[in-house]
């Protein structure tokens, strides 16, 4: 009888472990689900899932959702998402935001602000950003570059400081 009781207890423990771990294994991250939907060709579902992950603070999802929104004609909203991700040091979002500032897509055209975001992307090691920054600087005058350098120093300090607690 003791062996049967131990076997029954072991079976219950195994059952509970499987039951508790199964939902975690089945519940994918919305970003991962969005990637899968995108690969399956379901852009609408992917966009919804990326938005969900973006709202949860996922920088890659914020950038991806921003790209999808911008491609759908929503440059202003896209720029807001790019900025959220860029503030988390997501280099591609920094490039996207910089390009939007450079061209006035969804934001007021501002070469100095474009310089800030593209410079940060370069500092984050993104090789693509270097080409964008070099091209931008050829279109900037000394005053704009000086303004950009000043803003860049402020932005670096803001990104380095911890977020205020609420």
Is the pLDDT score of 26 beyond 70? no
Q: DSSP alpha helices (H): ranges in the chain?
A: 2-26, 30-39, 43-55, 59-71, 75-86, 91-103, 111-123, 127-137, 142-160
Range of lowest pLDDT (8-22, 64-78, 116-130, 141-155): 8-22
Helix (H, G, I), strand (E, B) or coil at 29: coil
What gap in Å lies between CA 91 and CA 59, rounded to an integer?
10
Other C-beta atoms closer than 10 Å to the C-beta of 148 total 25
This prediction's pTM: 0.79
pLDDT at residue number 106:
96
Domain regions of the chain by residue span: 1-56, 75-161
Of 76, 97, 101, 78, residue with least CA distance to 86: 97
Q: How many residues does the chain have?
A: 166
pLDDT at residue number 5:
52
What gap in Å lies between CA 135 and CA 142, rounded to an integer?
15
Q: Please answer whether residues 102 and 68 qualify as being in contact, where contact means their C-beta atoms are separated by less than 8 angstroms.
A: no
What gap in Å lies between CA 50 and CA 46, rounded to an integer?
6
Is the pLDDT score of 77 beyond 80? yes
Range of lowest pLDDT (54-58, 119-123, 140-144, 154-158): 154-158
The token pair at 45 is 């579902």
Cα dihedral 129, 135, 139, 145 sign:
positive
Q: Residue 100 burial (CB < 10 Å; 0-12/13-18/19+)?
A: buried
Residue in the block written with tokens 């911890």: 162
């Amino acid at each position: 009888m003791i062996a049967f009781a131990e076997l029954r207890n072991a079976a219950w423990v195994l059952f509970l472990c499987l039951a508790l771990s199964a939902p975690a294994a089945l519940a994918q991250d919305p970003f991962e689900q969005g990637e899968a939907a995108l690969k399956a060709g379901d852009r609408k579902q992917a966009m919804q899932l990326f938005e969900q992950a973006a709202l949860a603070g996922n920088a890659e999802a914020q950038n991806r959702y921003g790209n999808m929104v911008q491609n759908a004609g929503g440059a202003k909203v896209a720029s807001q998402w790019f900025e959220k991700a860029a503030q988390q040091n997501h280099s591609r979002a920094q490039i996207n935001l910089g390009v939007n500032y450079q061209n006035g897509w969804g934001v007021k055209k501002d070469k100095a602000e474009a310089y800030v975001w593209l410079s940060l992307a370069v500092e984050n090691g993104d090789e693509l950003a270097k080409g964008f920054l070099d091209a931008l600087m050829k279109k900037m005058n000394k005053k704009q570059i000086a303004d950009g350098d000043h803003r860049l120093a402020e932005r670096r300090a803001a990104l380095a400081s911890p977020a205020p607690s609420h």
